[in-house]
Structure 1
């Protein structure tokens, strides 16, 4: 050992002491020693053993990442035989990568590396390469397969390996006891599944010599193959039943709630399906142990929908110049009763096809009720500051001068908005007309001959005084339309409406 360290020190200075075997000198690893084809010993591997095996394997394969995996798998064999819980395999690979990078930095700067860093690294090489989980000791204490004496022995062994490293694995103490426990667990599982096993006499391990165990003991894969010898009656075909664990609150599982919404399964139907699945088990599941009822399903679905709605509102980015659309209809609900429902959309750049904000139930179709529902949806989606225009049909509940929804909505949002009136709905319903049928037009037609045609008063909006409120409104409208006309992504009907307004202004 002292000779190996002296050789490593000389190698660090850039000179190799001549030996009887030039091959050994050529393959010796800086600070580590000769590579090793396996990790031998009856103790948990040290950092030196891990690095020796790593360098041997990487020289053989040439694939460093695959070598990290292979080295970790070999080291985990020792820890599994000792029955000590470890960190994840990925965490082990990351820890081994950091160890190799530390060695690599010292190897690259061997001529100028600080002596204390090299000595500190050399002093740690023969210590345990600890990959134990933070709760490894607690895991041993909770192991029901171990007696109190075995638990104390395992904990003492782990603590010794992290310190003086005087203890070792041998005989029934470690490997054979672990094998026996695994065999008993497998036999018990098979017996509980199949229900009929022939009598079996497990091979006694007491006669095994109490000798140190080397690393080339059978791996877990080989142990799995040998353990099949104590499992009589194993079927070649798959068993008709499988063991699964179901949560007691199965109706609250996100996957089940999402499936019910996607397939439009009612609360009664989902409860019936889950109950039928539980009763199909062997033995049949006790429904009283699960929380399944129509009311539970209803609460679970409502909670799921609230979560989905909140997530969608959180991810929504309103357009900078948004147009709000709304319309209400009298529809039948699930119990067959008629009720008013109001759909509220928002459109703009990035949402050319429109984004549905809500379909709210309203008590009636009055302008105030529609305005309140629309304002509530806008506030819920946090886009009130982005709303610049309103799009609505020409019903009196919307266009009323005093009680119209537009007037109330502007008051609720505390700002004036551009009004985009949709008249296509009326023409689609009533068709095209060749003459005025509105009572006001009919009255004007009848009294047209009685009017004084010499006193026409033309409203010249373009030449109104600057102080006039109508002139101020015209300037604001023209400025806004001139700005939004330059933006892309608007619907064709809006573009035509803006161009027409600008042309007539």
Structure 2
């Protein structure tokens, strides 16, 4: 089989296809119906998680034929009963492993017992040496080094809240931080064997300080004024994988300024997911009662009459909120109408006129400029169009 993370990737891809189909379930166009039928046929076929070289790696010809039959449309063939030969082989292998483990444990017990007897018989004073052997047995050091000679584990932590924030700001991984901190401590004349510098300890300290800092910020944040909540989903690269995921920055603003509440990771970009993330962030910070308005962009997932995030947020919070649609998106509609009226429709995503204007922006004297209507050629063209 392929690796587990690749299987998860295939499942997530199939789920995204389903979510896209579900968004258009009310559009009964020919394209939508065709996509739904294709998806149903896909579900009837094999969800193949076999290794890329599975046919080469297999030694049983019957297994190869079964895999090829399953890969056919409709998955010809089915699994039979339990393979008695394979089951017997696995049982024998399990028994061998159990016997080997029992034999190893018995040998260790015999070695420990013989070592204890040898120490008792060779001692001149039985009373003093018996107590010594018992003491060693209590510490699990029979026949070995005494507890006093064991190397003690370093317990001095050097990761402070400021250092943890610096590591996060410079985007150093826990393993890279281990190398940097070890060499820095050695250059400063510190004994690195006394310092608790290892990957797992640094990770625990960073998580601890992040949680403490987040809790402190929430406790110190106080606002007795009405607030407006802002959100806008973005598709960005995931932190732990190479896939793109939906992230939802959530901000509140008021008279005292603005505060970032969360950058929630969404399973999908639906209105329900965004509404749940926004309400959860407001309740976590304890400001749900102070929110009186919402600022959002004018997408269907936000402004939908039934499943839009705005409607669902009001339902979850149990009150009506003022709607502040983003003026940037509103003005886009105005600019689009002016563009079509003056220059006509364009099928290109980038208009060359504006592309050249963007390229030349840095060389334009923005303190001394004139409008295009002041140029004779442009003015004549404009008057001719109006006529």
TM-score by length of 1: 0.34
Q: Larger % of helix: which?
A: 2
Larger relative contact order (C-alpha < 8 A, sep ≥ 6)?
A: 1
Higher CA-based Rg: 1
Q: How does the TM-score come out when normalised to structure 2?
A: 0.44
